[in-house]
A and B are shown apart, each in its own frame.
Chain A
Amino acid sequence: MTTLSTPARAVTERYEMVVGLEVHVQLRTRTKAFCCCDTAFGAPPNTNTCPICLALPGTLPLLNAEAVRLAVRAALALGCTVHETSIFARKNYFYPDLPKGYQISQYDRPLATGGRIAIGKNADGTPITIGITRLHMEEDAGKSIHDRYGGATAIDLNRAGVPLIEIVSEPDMRSAREAVAYLKVLKQILEYIDVSDVNMEEGSLRVDANISARLRGETRLGTKTEVKNMNSFSGVERALEAEFVRQCTLLERGEKIHQQTMLWDGARGEVRPARSKEESHDYRYFPEPDLPPLRLDRAWIEQIRAELPELPQARQARFAESYALPAGDIEVLTANAKLADYFESVARQHGDAKSAANWVMGEVLAALNATGQSVEHFAVRPADLAKLLDLVRDGVVSHSAAKQIFAHMAETGDPPQQIAEREGLIQVRDADELARWVDEVLAENPTEAARFKNGEKKLLGVLVGLVMKKSKGRADPRRVNQLLSERGG
């Protein structure tokens, strides 16, 4: 069902996909939403628990102020209106990894509503924007482990009570690619403002989709289904495509779409209906009596807004304006805030933004990818990289020597000048020494020398290369070029 066979494509062409996403994001707090337990990922099972998150009789929730701060920060970054009063509600359902038998969430009075983010441009240059219906706070459930103990399910409650925000979009996306673009922008914004690890593999970002199909030109929404269990961006794209094909095929046959939950099976590349029990919940929401309404001071909200860092799109616009870089470079350099900070620091100290951009996109990213390091822990600090670029610009080291120096810097963190001296990589521009290397190369290669002197200019490159080799890369190639040309007569 995943690959669009020719007949399937013919069917889908007459229809339009309509998608809205519900994204759960774990907030990066030190402690849980309603108790003081650690939120660290990967601790031994049930060690990050206490009477409150185990829901022992008589315990009460205590709201984590840092979780509220991060949720408000996220809401503001997504252009939402943060409400001065919001209300926690209980979402009731039975499941072994939900200790209280209800999840503390927000229902009819969420923290924030009415945001909007741009995810790209249409062919005519107009921006594609996606509305954010609401953003509310809630707590995570624990984990059920079904496959480790024969005939039994194990429960790990370390995750129970970890703070989440749920971000619900409008049904504004018209393709699986737009859905993925939205997720990428959302992830990027949340990374920029430092509220979450937004790691889909570790589960700190989770996506459910509402999808419907309608004939092109139709303005009413069709019956939607909910697609769950998508564990990567590519999974989202493939799942939406598969569900869209399924819906279009049914509609084309004149059948009805049933409002139901579909589960994505990535291994088989298909969606299948969830068992009816998994979708027949009546959550019996009611206001959480153990927590008073959450009241936020308008001035405090404005202070959080003032503390927001520059967001990705603003940064991209400024990079285009201040550094005159091509769009492709900007996209790479602003992929995350730390990399953009790094680039800007190098560019500001060195002065030549294009050269800084080339080095950051080339050597720096290659080194980071090779070691899996994050840029903020990278041994080559921006000031040292800027100095290295200064050395290249001033002709003190050659470009190829600079690459060797950079490799040493990445290993040792030493400053470039020191490495250049230690490794003898300072470019030699002394005329006598250069002349001696040129003469030696000509003497050692009499045939090539003769042909070159007889006017075979294409041998110039070969001879420059030999001189560079003899100098162990230290010779200034421009001068060598000049000297050889003089001798070529």
Chain B
Amino acid sequence: MTTTTSAAEAVAASLRRMDEVKAGADGLNCILWSDREHALAEARAIDESRAQGPLAGVPFVAKDNIATLHLPTTCGSRILEGYVSPYQATVIRRLREAGAVLVAKTNCDEFAMGSSNEHSAYGPVRNPICPTRVPGGSSGGSAAAVAAGIVRIALGSETGGSVRQPAAFCGVVGVKPTYGRVSRYGLVAFASSLDQVGVFGATVDDAALAMEVIAGRDPLDSTSADVPVPRYRAAADRPLEGLVIGRPKEYFPPSLDPRIAALCDRALDALRAQGATVRDVSLPHTDLAIPVYYIVAPAEASSNLARFDGVRYGLRVTGDGLRGMYEATRSRGFGPEVTRRILLGTYVLSAGYYDAYYKKAQEVRTLIAQDFRTVFGNGVHALFTPTTPTPAFEFGAKADPYEMYLNDIFTATANLAGVPGISVPVGRVDGLPIGGQILAGHFEEMTMFQIAYALERALGAEAHR
């Protein structure tokens, strides 16, 4: 991304756009916190220093569960209302060192738990394409900010599809990197073995550029991998000849909306036309992903969220003694979805239930990962699937939690297996964006981007009609 305007102009334009689209609580509600003066001052400093970083002067937003200096980090929760981190996440530091300017923090489902952004303590985000519908979640605010033209680059986080699903719902590009590709230091933990910072881009190129900057080993995250970071943007020019793309039948069930299936097959035709081979494949354990995910993720969450106890920071509600303070603080501080998952997670880790639930789920998780290893070990370079089974739904449409959970059916597998995925717009149904998902092997983001660039090139404006 080359910017011909100054950093100050770019940041000012971004801030103006926030007003135009009503990004705050009275409108889209995608922006929670911003400090205009601070952002402008940072931009002016970049202009004065004539910094040459790859993102010099590029404004960006970050999901509210990523630690930032100056702006609050509340995770969309009452329990962290007003909390400002004294340190910044590695991904934020890397983007800022590359010259990017953080203009705002974005709304999200509380502690990233949700698929519609209806679970934010600060109210739901509206989908910029159709404001009566959800933007997806949990990184709905970041997806909406890109879709509304406020920024070209936004940070989100994924535990089970929380970047790809809102990217699909809002018609933007969303990347979930390989587990370990990007540092988690400063990402407030939901489920540590699944969490990964992801990026939204207005285009594949925006996302690839941001990934180049944030990826790579971080000594502050022991689970980050020491694997070289390629120049992802170089994937733009690579032809698809010789690439084998798998079409897993479990992701195209008979119940799938035929219009979504048709858009995906059109995308596959476009890839075939550019030289790729498409092969039918099977990932037999796919249907176990949701049950496994909803054991592993809440279990880890119940432990990760124990630190929000009213003792050191955030909300404290006094009660009868220590136990009373814990109960009052956590009951008042956490919303119903977070409470539900903490209870579920506490239960599955309890003595007597651990083997039947958590241990069993981890065993099944290895089978899901094995599905991917098998298919990628048999000459398939990437998989192509719909990102979600439906387009963006109306507010309140998924009142039953399990209905809501099923929306992650095509995305949660990648988190459980640790493989990278990207959602790219492939067209619209009833005027609502539909995303196509490309999944690749561990640390094969290059292949993933290669196909994403080709798809974007082939579909062009078609993808947004």
Stretch of B301-309, B372-380, B449-457 at the chain-chain interface: B301-309
B222, B305, B311, B351: the one contacting A96 at CB < 8 Å is B311
Q: Does A289 contact B (CB under 8 A)?
A: yes
* CB <8 Å contact, A57 and B85: yes
A352-385 to B contact mask, C-beta < 8 Å, 1/0 = 0000000000000000000000000000000000
Residues of A near B354 (CB, < 8 A) are 284-286
Lowest 6 CB-CB distances: which A-B pairs, in order?
Answer: A101-B306, A289-B192, A284-B349, A289-B193, A57-B188, A58-B67
A79 part of interface (Cβ distance < 8 Å): no
**Is B350 part of the binding interface, using a Cβ–Cβ cutoff of 8 Å?**
yes
For window 87-103 of A, CB contacts with B under 8 Å fall at: 90, 92, 94, 96, 99-102
B367 within 8 A of A: no
Q: A90-B303, A101-B307, A284-B350 are in contact. Are A60 and B83 (CB under 8 A)?
A: no
Q: Mark A289-311, 1 if CB is under 8 A from B, else 0.
A: 11110000000000000000000
Q: Is the CB of B349 within 8 A of A286?
A: yes
Q: Do A60 and B185 form a contact, CB below 8 Å, given A289-B300, A290-B192? A: yes
Given contacts A90-B303, A96-B309, A102-B303, contact A56 B349 (CB under 8 A): no
Q: Which of A58, A61, A285 contacts B186 (CB 8 A)?
A: A58
Asked if B89 lies at the interface with its beta carbon under 8 angstroms from chain A, I say yes
Enumerate chain B residues within 8 angstroms of A285, measured Cβ to Cβ. Answer: 349, 354
A25-64: which have CB < 8 Å to B? 51, 54-63
Residues of B within 8 A of A444 (CB): none
Is B66 an interface position by the 8 A CB rule?
yes
Give A290 to B303 CA distance when docked, in angstroms: 12
A-chain residues with CB within 8 Å of residue B306 when the two chains form the complex: 92, 94, 100-102
Cross-chain contact A101 with B222 (CB below 8 angstroms): no
- B189 touching A58, Cβ below 8 Å: yes
Report whether B307 and A57 are in contact in the complex, using a CB–CB cutoff of 8 Å.
Answer: yes
Q: Does any Cβ of B come within 8 Å of A274's Cβ?
A: no
Instruction: Name the residue on B nearest A288 (C-beta).
Output: B192
Q: Which of A170-189 contact B (CB under 8 A)?
A: none
Give 22 CB contacts A-B under 8 Å: A51-B85, A54-B312, A56-B87, A57-B189, A57-B307, A58-B67, A58-B185, A59-B185, A59-B186, A60-B184, A60-B223, A61-B222, A62-B219, A94-B309, A99-B307, A99-B311, A100-B307, A101-B307, A285-B349, A290-B222, A290-B223, A292-B223
Contacts of A57 in B (CB 8 A): 67, 73, 75, 80, 83, 85, 188-189, 307-308
Please report the C-alpha to C-alpha distance between residue A436 and residue B356 in the assembled complex, in whole angstroms: 101
Q: Which B residues are CB-close (under 8 A) to A92?
A: 302-303, 306, 349
Chain A contacts for B223, CB-based, 8 A: 60, 289-292
| CB of A255 closer than 8 Å to a CB of B | no
Beta-carbon nearest neighbor of A34 in chain B: B222
**Least Cβ distance of B395 to chain A in Å?**
28
Within 8 A of A (CB), among B211-265: 219-223
Q: Which B residues touch A100, using CB under 8 A?
A: 306-307
Cβ-based interface call for A218 (8 A): no
A57 to B85, CA, bound (A): 8
**Cα distance A289–B66 when bound, in Å?**
19
| 10 other A-B residue contacts (CB within 8 Å) besides A96-B322, A101-B306, A282-B350 | A51-B85, A56-B86, A56-B313, A63-B222, A101-B305, A101-B307, A155-B311, A284-B346, A284-B349, A285-B354
Q: Which residue in chain A gives the minimum CB-CB distance to B80?
A: A57
Q: Complex: how many Å from CA A56 to CA B187? A: 11
Chain B contacts for A54, CB-based, 8 A: 312
Contacting pair A51 B222 (CB below 8 A): no
- B326 CB–A CB distance under 8 Å: yes
Residue of B nearest to A284 (CB): B349
Cα A54 to Cα B83 in complex, Å, equals: 14
Known: A286-B354, A290-B223, A292-B223. A58 touches B188 (CB 8 A): yes
Quote the shortest CB–CB distance from A286 to chain B (angstroms).
6
How far is the CB of B97 from the nearest CB of chain A, in Å? 18
B299 at the interface (CB under 8 A from A): yes
Query: B34-75 toward A: CB 8 Å interface, digit per residue (1/0)?
Result: 000000000000000000000000000000011100000101
Known contacts A90-B303, A101-B309, A102-B303: A56-B221 contact under CB 8 Å = no
Given contacts A102-B303, A286-B358, contact A58 B85 (CB under 8 A): yes
Q: What range describes how many residues of B lie at the interface?
A: 35 or more
Are B222's CB and A292's CB within 8 A? yes
A95 closest partner in B (C-beta)? B322
Chain B contacts with A in 265-306, Cβ cutoff 8 A: 299-300, 302-303, 305-306
Q: Which A residues between 391 and 417 are near B, CB-CB below 8 angstroms?
A: none
Total A residues in contact with B, Cβ cutoff 8 Å: 29
Q: How far is the CB of B113 from chain A (nearest CB, A)?
A: 15
Chain A's closest residue to B358 (CB) is: A286
Contact with B along A92-126 (1 / 0, CB 8 A): 10101001111000000000000000000000000
Measured CA separation A58–B313 after assembly (Å) = 13
Q: Write out the residue numbers on chain A whose beta carbons fall within 8 Å of the beta carbon of B65.
A: 58
- Report Cα–Cα, A234/B160, bound state, in Å: 56
Docked CA distance A100–B220 (Å): 17
Question: Is the beta-carbon distance between A60 and B222 smaller than 8 angstroms?
Answer: yes
Beta-carbon contacts under 8 Å, A7-30 to B: none
In the bound assembly, the distance between CA atoms of A295 and B417 in angstroms comes to: 22
Q: Which residue of A lies closest to B221 (CB)?
A: A60
Min distance, Cβ A46 to any Cβ of chain B, angstroms: 10
- How far is A63 from B346 in the complex, measured between Cα atoms in Å? 26
Most B CB contacts (10 A, CB to CB) among A56, A58, A61, A62 go to A58
Which partner residue on chain A sits nearest B222 by CB separation? A291
In this complex, which of B87, B220, B222, B300 has the most chain A Cβ atoms within 10 angstroms of its Cβ? B222
C-alpha gap A60/B65 in the complex (Å): 15
CA distance A58 to B111 in the complex (A): 11
Report A247-303 residues with CB < 8 Å from chain B CB: 282, 284-286, 289-292
Nearest-Cβ distance from residue B292 to partner chain A, whole angstroms: 15
Cα–Cα distance between A52 and B313 once the two chains are bound (Å): 14
Kindly state the separation between the CA atoms of A457 and B309 in the bound complex, as whole angstroms. 89
A286–B193 CA distance with the chains assembled, in angstroms: 12
Q: Which residues of A contact B346 (CB under 8 A)?
A: 284
Whole-angstrom distance between the Cβ of B28 and the nearest chain A Cβ? 26
**In whole angstroms, what is the CA distance A290 to B220 when docked?**
11
Tell me the minimal C-beta distance from B14 to chain A in angstroms. 25
Contact check, A55 vs B312: say whether CB atoms are below 8 A apart: yes
> Contacts A62-B220, A286-B354, A286-B358: A51 and B87 contacting too (C-beta < 8 A)?
yes
Q: Which residue of B lies closest to A277 (CB)?
A: B323
Which residue of A has the minimal Cβ distance to B86? A51
Residues of B within 8 A of A60 (CB): 184-185, 220-223
Please name all residues of chain A whose beta carbon is closer than 8 Å to the beta carbon of B188 when the two chains form the complex. 57-58
Residues of A contacting B191 with CB < 8 Å? 289
Q: Which residues of chain A are within 8 angstroms of B221 by Cβ–Cβ distance? A: 60
Contacts of A101 in B (CB 8 A): 303, 305-307, 309
Chain A residues with CB below 8 A from B326, complex form:
94
Interface contact A284-B303, CB-CB below 8 Å = yes
Identity of the chain B residue whose Cβ is nearest the Cβ of A51 in the assembled complex: B87
Chain B 329-371 interface residues, beta-carbon cutoff 8 Å to A? 346, 349-351, 354, 358
Known: A92-B349, A286-B299. A55 touches B192 (CB 8 A): no
Interchain nearest-CB distance for B314 vs A (Å): 8
A56 contact set on B, CB distance < 8 A: 67, 85-87, 313
Instruction: Pick from B193, B308, B309, B354 the residue with the most CB of A within 10 Å.
Output: B309
Residue of A at shortest CB range from B314? A57
A residues in contact with B305, CB < 8 Å: 101
List the A residue with the shortest CB-CB distance to B306. Answer: A101
| Min CB–CB distance B86 → chain A (angstroms) | 6
CA distance A101 to B308 in the complex (A): 8
- Could you say which residues of chain A place their CB within 8 Å of the CB of B80? 57
Shortest distance from the beta carbon of A104 to any chain B beta carbon, whole Å: 11
Report the separation of the CA atoms of residues A284 and B343 in the bound assembly, to the nearest whole angstrom: 13
The CA of A61 and the CA of B184, in the complex, are separated in Å by 11
* CB under 8 Å from chain A, chain B span 163-215: 184-189, 191-193
Separation of A174 and B346 alpha carbons in the complex (Å): 40
